[in-house]
Structure formats: C-alpha cells, structure tokens
Structure 1
Amino acid sequence: MKYKPAKQIILKQYKKDSSKIHYSIFIGKTYAINFEKDSALFWLNKAQKLFNNKTPKNQLFQYYLWKGYLHEVNKDYGKALENYFDAKNISRIKIDPYYINLLYQRVLLIYSENKYKEKIEDWIEVYTKIKDSLKNDYFSNSYHNTLGKHYHYNGNGEKALKEFEQNIRLSNKTNNKVMLINALLHKGLIYAEYNRIQDSARYYYTKAIKICACPNNILLQATNIYNISRTYLYENNLKKTKEWLYKLDSLKKDLPSRKLHITNNLYKDLYYIYKEEGEIDSTLHYLELHKTYSDSISKINESKNIAELQTKYEVSEKEKENIQLENNIEKTERRNKNLWIGSTLIIIFISIIAFLIQKNTKRKQKLAEQEKVLESQKLASVLKEQELTAIDAMIEGQEKERQRIANDLHDDLGGLMANVKLHFNALQDNESPDLFDKTNTLIEEAYQKVRTVAHAKNSGVIAKQGLLKAVQQMAKKVSASNKIQIDVVDHSLEHRLENSLELTIFRIIQELITNVIKHAEATETTIHLTNHNSTLNIMVEDNGKGFNPSQITKSKKGMGISSIDKRVEHLEGTLTIESEPNKGTTIIIDLPV
C-alpha cells in the first residue's frame, strides 16, 4: 500500500479510539520514516501523554526507538542517541529481534557516520554478543549488513566486503531477496568507489537487477542504470557513460517526484561530459536543466514544509476535539470508577469480617476437638501403662512362683527321693532282688522327672545365660525325643536384652513350640531370631500339616495363640501367621527393643 492512502486509513482508525497508545506511535513512526519531523514529533508526544504505570514495555520501547530515529534523520544525533539508549534499557524484556536489530543498527551507523571512534568498537562488541546469543538468522543477516555499511562508510573496503559476503550467504539461506539485492549493490559501490575495479562493480549491479526481476520498479532500475554509468565515468569512458545516461533519461518521466535528485544528477553528469568534450550548446543546455531541477528540489522542500505545517494545523484542530471528548469521557469514567471503588471496598470489608468470624468459629471448634482427642489419648495412654505394669507384675509374680516351685522340687522333694533311694539300696542283700530292681527303677525315674520339671520351669533365662542360650537349650532338649528336629538360627544377637523382655520373649517362643508339638504334626522346625537395630524379628517355621489362617478369628483363637497375641500386643509388636493346608506354617513376630 502507498504511503498517503495508508496514512489516511490509520488516521481514520485513530478517530475511532483515541485512547490507544500504539495508534499514536504507529502514526509517528510513519511520519518519521517519511522525514516529516513536526508531524512525527506531534504524534509521538501525543503517545507520551497517554503513558501511565500500566503502559506495556514493548510500547515504551517503540516510542523511544522511533523518537530516536526521528531525531537521527533530522541530524540531531545527541537526542537520537539519548532516546535509543532509553529504548536499549527497556529492550531487556522480550522484544522482536527485528526491532532489537534496528536499534543496534541505527546507533552503530550514527557512531560510524559521525566518527565516534572511541565508542564504535565497544558498541560492535555488544552488538556481536547479542547476535551470538540470539542465534537468529534474520538478526545475523542484518548484523553483517550493518557492519558492512559501517566499514564501507569508513573506507575499509576489505572488511566491508567480508561482512557483505556473510550478508549474501545468510540472505540466500533465508531467501531474503531484499537484503541480498542490498548487499550486492553495496559490493558494487565498494568495487566502484574504493577498489576501482569497475568490471566487478558492473557485475554486482547487473546481478542485483537480475535477482530483483522487477522491470516495473522504475526507481531501482534508474538507480542501477545511474550506478553503471558512474563506473564508465570513473574509467573516463565518456561514450559509454552517455549511453547509460541516455537510458536513464528515457525513464526519468516515470520516476516519483520525491526522487528528482536522480534526474538532477543525470543532467549534472551530462553537463560535465559535454563540457569535457567541448560541446558548448549541449553543455549550456544541461547546465540550465541542472539548475532548474536544483531550484525545483529547493521549492519542493519548501512546499513540503508548508504542507507539513498545514497538516500539523489540521491535526491540532482534531486534537482539540479529541481532548474535549477525552475530558468528558475521563470525568464520566472517574465518577464511575469512584462508585465502583466505594462499592468494592464495602464488599471487601464485609467479606473480611464474615471470613474472620467464620475462621474464629472454626478455630474454636478445632481447638475443642483437639482437646477431646488429647484427653482420649491421655486416658488411653494411662490405661495402657497400667495394663503393661499389671502384666509386668504378673510375669514377675509368675517367675517368682516358678522359682519357688523349682527350688522346692529340687531341694525338698529331690532330697527326699534321694534319701528314699539310699534306704532302698540297703535292701540289696534281701532275698527279693527283682522287687528291689523295680522299686529302684521307679524311684530313679521319679527323681529324674522331678529334676526335669525343676529345670524346665526354671528356664535358661532365669539362670541368666540369656535369651539365645535358653532358646538353644530348649530346642536341644525337645529335639532329644527324636520325634521333631528344632534348629535355632540367630543374627546380630551379641548383646543381652532387658531381663523381663527376654523372659516374655522366651515364653512366647516356648508357647509357639508347644503349639507345633501339639498340633502341627511336624518333623522339622526352625526358629529365626534377628536383631535389626531397634526391632527384634522372631520367625518360627515348621513343615507340619498347616491350616487356613482366615478361619482364625478373635472369638475362635485357641488359648495358646490368644496368649501369644496378647503378649505381642502389649509389647507394641505385630504378629503375622502364614500357612496353607499341607504346606506348613510360619509365625512372624516383630517387636521393638
């Protein structure tokens, strides 16, 4: 779309919604690109007036970027750099790489064209780091194009050519014909103006036009023809120069009016050639045309300034209407906003009060519930402690009773039976040897049974040899019957446990072995004792007939299992029964120690 129709569409859209900042920025940008300083400045200042603390950062970036560009094209480089640096400070947020590149490109070209030698290298270093970090082919392409122009403007043709080579490579990679044509034209200028290799310059000019393939682009065609004519002029080939200038002369009527300088340059060069050839009439003719076009260009610039002032006046009148409308809208919005704020504050206040009341009520309820739970826990803890104390007392009483009975059996009855045996020995000389033998055998058997009962009831634990030793002795005595083999396997039981705990554990194992003997019909049993730091694991396995554990309930448990379960529970342990019919039984007990 051409510039003027596009501008009219934008202005029309702006009337519909004058509160949009990006409209003002876009109009200001449009004027700036077309070198209309006052109009661009007016619209950019209009955008600035609309700024507030909620203005998006990307819009602030655009404002400073285009205001900097406006000052740059009007040769006010100090203000241009000031605005560019404001945009740079905002560019730390996520900005389109196109605009980031434009910012760094413009600053570098200002430094380059105005010989800021002390700042150029630092800026190139920063520009390069951004290029490397973005890894964006478009950005890199434009970066090499800008550096090529910088070296071109500063007379370093060799470095410029290297940058334009990279520019051409990336243009081909990204299929960017505009950037490719620009790079080729610059290479042509470098070969023509610095290297003075006019054949190479014409090669690049021609290649650019072929890639463009745009015969209807009269401006590009005319610019290219003029550049080629200059190559012949550098070679002092006036004949060839005239041929190309006459080609340009045939296009001049189709050039846009804002490009009168091309026609002016055409007549200036023809004036020079005919002057060199001594053609007085032609020299005077083209000198007159050259002066006429120079005057026309001056008048056009004056007219442009007048038109810009007229536009500024029209825009100013429209701005007054917009300001009045905005004031009315602002008053209405302020009144509505105050009402909304007041209503919102009242609702928030009521909501906070209701929330606090509800929160306080829930807190009280929660505290009451926690107090109930704590009381229940305290009561349960006291009852459990009392029960454990009673059990410990019962176990201690039972052990004392067993000790007393064992001592009585051993000391009293055992001694008595020994004395009886001695008296019967005196009968050995009597005439009834058979009766003597039978009586002696019975007495010996009674004596041994008394000793066995005394030792069994006293257990290894009471004799202080420890849990493991007591279990091993019990297993050895039971295995001596040759009806069942009991093995004891221990792990990490090097240290004794508390005496009452060892006693309780021994009674549990004793009860388990009794159950195996009475019910399992087993031939082999293994007792595993394993100490895992703070846990004692007891596992009793047999190869007996087994049973279905699911058929055992609290109401159907036998006295043996019930007694074991209760002891384990009071020791805060767990009891697990694993069994299947005809596959044996495994009892697993875990106790904290």
Structure 2
Amino acid sequence: MSISLPLSLLVLNSAALACVWVGHCLSRKSIKFQPQELADRLLQVQENERHRLSRELHDDIGQLLTAAKLQSEWLKRRIPEELRGQCSVLCDTLDETLTKVRDVSAILNPRQLASLGLEASLRAHLLRTLANTSVHWSLECHQRLTGIPEEMAVAAFRITQEAVTNMLRHAQAENLLVRLQRLPQGLSLLISDDGLGFVPAADPAREGQRGMAGMSERIDQLGGTLTVASEPGKGTQIEALFPWAPRALERASTNKVMH
C-alpha cells in the first residue's frame, strides 16, 4: 500500500534538502580558505605573544634585576673589605644579565621600528647581534623609507632577523650583506652571505626548515614573493619583495634616490 504525502510536506522536504546542500557547499568553501586564514591568525598571535613577553622582560624582570643590582651595590659598601671582591662579581653578573634581558626584549619587540624606522632599526639589530662575531656586514639603503606600512616593516625586520640567526647558527659565514630598495612595485629586501649554504626545501614546513617556513608565511601574508638561492659551499641569497598597496603604487614610484 502506497502512502501519498501532502504537497506542502514535499515542498518542505525539498527546501530542507536544498538548505543542507547549500550549507555543505559553503562549508567546503570556508574550509578551502581556512589554511591561509589560520596562517595569518597564527602570525598575529605570535607577534602579540612576542610583544607580551617583551613587556614582561623589560618591565617586570628588568625592574627586579635593576633592584637586585642596586641592593648589591648598597651591600658592597657595607660589607668587610675581604668580601667586596665577590660582591663586585655579583654586581657585574647582574649588570650583564640586565643587558642581555634588554637585548632579548628588543629582539622580541623592536619598539624602535615606530620611532627610528626600518633602516635604523635593522642597523641597530645588526650592530647588537653581530658585535661579538667575526662577521663583516653591511646594510645598504640609498632611498628614503618613510611611509612604509607597519606590517611591511615588521615583516622585513623579522625576515632579516631570522636569516641572520640562521647564518650564525649554521652558515659559518664571513660576510653578510643586507640591502633595502624602494622599487615601483614594492619594497625589496636582499640578504646575502658567503657561508656554507644548504639545499632549500620545496616545502620548508614539511621538511623541518622552520625558519624558512616562517619567512614564507610572513611574505605570503602580504602577498609578496620570496626567493631563496643556495647550495652547499656557495652561500645563501634571500630576496623578498613586499608589494605596495594599490593606493601607494603611484606614490612609491615617484620617490627619488637620495644622492
């Protein structure tokens, strides 16, 4: 025996199936775009966490170390002569630790980017990072970099920071060149060393090259391009291009080289 369904119920069932199908399609579409959204969100979370850690190091731990140093100096003036040598060592250790904490805080959150600009901030970072090494380095920038968007400056700073760290850890390089250029199509960053070199991975994240993966994520977030040229024994050259936003293209192309 067949059971006939009311027309209204059939229409309702059809509408429900249509809604399920549309929801399925939208879900697939959202999943398609999810990886890039997650990558962007991850970079933002990382940057926020770096800023938080930097503040804690600078404000909390830095203040505690400063207080401990002042107390040690007060104690040094009041203890017997034969103990002052050890107290001096303690003061020096606290002073060195405080300097290192401030350096780490500056690396985590380069506050000078907003006040000094990208070129001066990179120069300060290279001076601080390479001061006690045998690496000969140069930073070339022959154009004004005023008006660089904050997210672009942060990305260029972080990519340089990561490249220099990798060089010190693995490359055994003697010479390093960092070059910034303001081009009509965007900001160009070149980082070149004469170290041991390596074989760049096609998929850095999958093959464990986390530093290179982080660079790629930062440049992808801004719609730019990253090129890595390296091979064992022949050094490494990293080129990044950060494109201008459409409204800035005309303004960027009119900037003149400083003589």
TM-score, length of structure 2 as denominator length: 0.71
Aligned to 2:170: 519
1:565 aligns with 2:216: yes
Counterparts of 1:269-280 in structure 2, within 5 Å, are none
The partner residue of 2:55 within 395, 404, 423 is 404
Residue 584 (structure 1) shift: 0.9
Which residue of structure 1 aligns with residue 151 of structure 2? Answer: 500
Matched, 1:539 2:177: no
- Give 1:509 deviation, angstroms: 1.2
The CA distance in 1 between the partners of 2:208 and 2:186, in whole Å, is 26
Letter in 1 for 2:87: F
Q: Distance in 1 between matches of 2:194 and 2:45?
A: 34
Aligned length: 219
Tell me how far 1:472 sits from its aligned partner: 0.9
For 1:418, the equivalent position in structure 2 comes to 69
**Secondary structure, counterpart of 1:549 in structure 2:** coil
Q: Which residue of 1 aligns with 2:103?
A: 452
Kindly tell me: are residues 443 and 557 of structure 1, through their superposed partners in 2, closer, same or farther at Cα, counting changes over 3 Å?
Answer: closer
CA distance in 2: counterparts of 1:577 and 1:392, whole angstroms: 21
User: 3-state SS of the aligned residue for 2:237?
Assistant: strand
C-alpha separation between the residues in 2 aligned to 1:380 and 1:454? 37
SS in 2 for 1:578: strand
Change (3 A) 1:387 1:533: farther
Q: 1:530 to 1:578 in 2, by over 3 A?
A: same
**Contact conserved, 2:204 with 2:210, CA < 8 A, in 1?**
no
Amino acid at match of 2:220: E
Instruction: State the identity as a percent.
Output: 23
1:541, CA displacement in angstroms? 0.3
* Residues 571, 591 of structure 1: 8 Å contact kept: yes
Q: 1:592 aligns with which of 243, 247, 250?
A: 243
Match of 1:390 among 31, 35, 41: 41
Shift of 1:487: 1.3
Mapped to 2, the partners of 1:489 and 1:389 lie a distance apart of 30
Does residue 1:490 correspond to 2:146, yes or no? Answer: no
**1:528 maps onto 2:179 in alignment:** yes
The question of 1:467 aligning with 2:115 is answered no
Distance in 1 (CA, whole Å) between partners of 2:46 and 2:94 is 34
Structure 1 length as normaliser, TM-score? Answer: 0.33
- Residue-by-residue CA offset, 1:464-519 (whole Å, 9 max, x unaligned): 32111111111111231132122111243431322233122211111111111111
- Distance between the aligned counterparts of 2:152 and 2:228, measured in 1? 22
CA distance in 1, matches of 2:230, 2:62: 45
Report the Cα distance in structure 1 between the residues aligned to 2:73 and 2:114, rounded to whole angstroms: 30
Alpha-carbon distance between aligned partners in 1 of 2:203 and 2:70, rounded to the nearest angstrom: 51
Tell me if structure 2 keeps the 8 A contact 1:546–1:584: yes
1:391 CA drift (Å): 4.3
Matches of 1:503 and 1:437, distance apart in 2: 40
For 2:118 and 2:62, locate their aligned partners in 1 and report how far apart those are by CA, in whole Å: 26
What stretches of structure 2 of length at least 5 have no aligned partner? 1-25, 245-259
Deviations 1:357-403 (A, max 9, x none): xxxxxxxxxxxxxxxxxx89x75896477447624642552243134
* Equivalent position amino acid for 1:525 in 2: L
Contact 2:39 2:217 in 1 (8 A): no
3-state SS, counterpart of residue 141 of structure 2? strand
Q: d(CA) in 1 for partners of 2:205 and 2:83?
A: 60
The answer on 1:480 being equivalent to 2:164 is no
How far apart are the structure 1 equivalents of 2:131 and 2:160? Answer: 18
Structure number with the higher strand fraction is: 2
SS at match of 1:529: strand
Whole-Å Cα distance in 1 between the matches of residues 38 and 73 of structure 2?
51
Q: Is the 8 A contact 1:414 1:451 kept in 2?
A: no
CA distance in 2, matches of 1:409, 1:465: 25
Once the two structures are TM-superposed, the CA of residue 428 in structure 1 deviates from its matched residue by 5.3
Equivalences for residues 73-222 of structure 1 within 5 A:
none
Q: How big is each residue's C-alpha offset from its partner over 1:7-53, in whole Å with a ceiling of 9 and x where there is no partner?
A: xxxxxxxxxxxxxxxxxxxxxxxxxxxxxxxxxxxxxxxxxxxxxxx
Which residue of 81, 97, 107 corresponds with 1:430? 81
In structure 2, the partner of 1:246 is none
d(CA) in 1 for partners of 2:174 and 2:33?
A: 45
Question: Contact between 1:459 and 1:470, CA under 8 Å: does it hold in 2?
Answer: yes
- Higher relative contact order (Cα pairs below 8 Å, separated by 6+ residues): 2
| Distance change >3 Å, CA 588–CA 494, structure 1 → 2 | closer
Query: What secondary structure is seen at the aligned counterpart in 2 of 1:486?
Result: strand
Question: Displacement, 1:462?
Answer: 5.0
Shift, 1:580, TM fit: 2.5
SS of structure 2 residue aligned to 1:431: helix
Deviations 1:533-564 (CA, angstroms, capped at 9, x unpaired): 23111111001011233687652141111111
Greater helix content: 1
Structure 1 or 2, whichever has the larger Rg, is 1
Matched, 1:548 2:163: no
Contact 2:40–2:221, Cα closer than 8 Å, also in 1:
no
CA contact (8 A) 1:488 1:526 kept: yes
CA distance in 1, matches of 2:36, 2:207: 28
Give the Cα separation in 2 of the matches to 1:407 and 1:550. 37
